[in-house]
Amino acid sequence: MQQPANKERIILGIDPGTTVLGYGIIKETGRMLSLVSLGVVKLDHLDDHGLKLQRIFQKTSNLIEQYQPDCVALEAPFYGKNIQVMLKLGRAQGVAMAAALNKDIPIFEYAPRKIKQSVTGNGNAAKEQVAAMLKTLLRFEETPQFLDATDGLAVAVCHAFQNRPSTSKKGNYSSWEAFVRNNADRLK
């Protein structure tokens, strides 16, 4: 689904976590992106996992109510060394999804590697590289206290980039000469 040139939408990106949940909200107007808000929800002071999930649902619901996003994009849990961590992250993601679905807002899910690739061009980029690229893309100066905030923002930006039409012609080129020959209209 491509956006018309003047269409405006709000995208809420969430990096789910049971210790720190990061979020970022952007406004997309045509091909232009602008930062609306970013932040974190600290949950490390809560000992009960059920209370953490309740807080995630409440905070996500509050963000939806306050910013009225057109969609919610979430980072998918990934398998690490500890299956218990992945299960907890999956629950956190599910609760955030439920908050969006409760308000009939479409949800989208992206793998961590896809998000990094979309924002930096490198699927193995460090969190600091992602944050630096976002500061350039969205033209903001402040450095968030936690990189989880820029991780949530990266999810929103990734989603915006997924719906853009390609500016290049499709094709595999065996050389620069072949590219130039097939794209003469793009060269000055």
Catalytic residue chosen out of the listed positions 48, 148, 151, 185: 148
Concatenated DSSP letters of 10-70: EEEEEE--SSEEEEEEEEEETTEEEEEEEEEEE-TT---HHHHHHHHHHHHHHHHHHH--S
Of 8, 47, 75, 151, the active-site residue reads 75
Residue 132 class from Cβ within 10 Å (0-12 exposed, 13-18 middle, 19+ buried)? middle
Task: Tell me the β-bridge partners of 107.
Answer: 72
Do 14 and 74 meet the contact criterion of CB atoms below 8 Å apart? Answer: yes
* Annotated catalytic residue 128: no
Residue tagged active-site, from 8, 15, 47, 109: 15
Verify whether residue 48 is a known catalytic residue.
no
- CA dist 150 and 142 (Å) reads 11
Residue 148 annotated as catalytic: yes
**75 is an annotated ligand-binding site residue:** yes
SS (H, E, C) 106-127: CEEEECHHHHHHHHHCCCCCCH
Detail the residues annotated as belonging to a binding site.
15, 75, 148
Active site residues: 15, 75, 148
Detail the residues annotated as belonging to a binding site for Mg(2+).
15, 75, 148
